[in-house]
Amino acid sequence: MPLNLFTPDDTAILLIDHQIGTMSWVRSTEHAEMLANAVALAKAAKALDLPLVLTTSLEDHDQGPLAPEIAVVAPDEYAARIQRIGVVNAMDDPAFAAAVAAAGRRNLVIAGVTNDVCTVYPTLTALDQGYQVQVVADAGGSMSTQADEVALRRMENAGAGITSTNMILTELAKSWASPAGQALIPVVGELIPS
């Protein structure tokens, strides 16, 4: 079933486990680009007043704290982040699942730091629960390129849309002349290579 185009009125953004330690485990994508894309998604959520749900896992272990760049962009959401105690599938954590439900949006943009662990299971669960999901592939990665490709294929086969940061931001903008487009111009502009 094809996904409808997402709009600011019906979309929430979920950022899963963009933690300093966990980011260092990713080998399939460049760290600075991955972090810049995750930060851009947080900036877009704030610019468009979209629900933004943040979660971390085992902050006091090797995973470490959430990237401070995200905390700076979304301090309220950072303070309200769901701190999971080792639950792999964030949607299996009652507090995270409740935060997603409370967002009241049926379209979810999901980016996890590791596509083959942090992203895949919440995506599969959300799809099973009737959400439409777009996975932002370049705001995460995996320990190997092969692992990343397998995870993205699994999510796509289950019904998720696979997108990039720039693609989902321009989809939400729809027109640069619209209020959403105007709000997103600086966010998208920061992603343009110099």
Sole residue written with tokens 């979309």: 11
- Give buried/exposed letters for 37-71 (b at 16+ CB in 10 A, else e): bbbbbbbbbbbbebbbbbbbbbbeeebbebbeebb
Pick the catalytic residue: 35, 118, 133, 187?
118
Residues 6+ apart with CB under 8 A from 165: 37, 40, 41, 136, 138, 139, 191
- Give buried/exposed letters for 3-35 (b at 16+ CB in 10 A, else e): eeebebeebbbbbbbbbbebbeebebbeeeebb
Report the DSSP pairing between strands 11-16 and 82-84. unpaired
| Encoded tokens for 98 | 């409740």
Distance CA 193, CA 32 (A): 13
Active site residue 118: yes
Distance CA 58, CA 117 (A): 14
For the annotated catalytic residues, the residue numbers are: 118
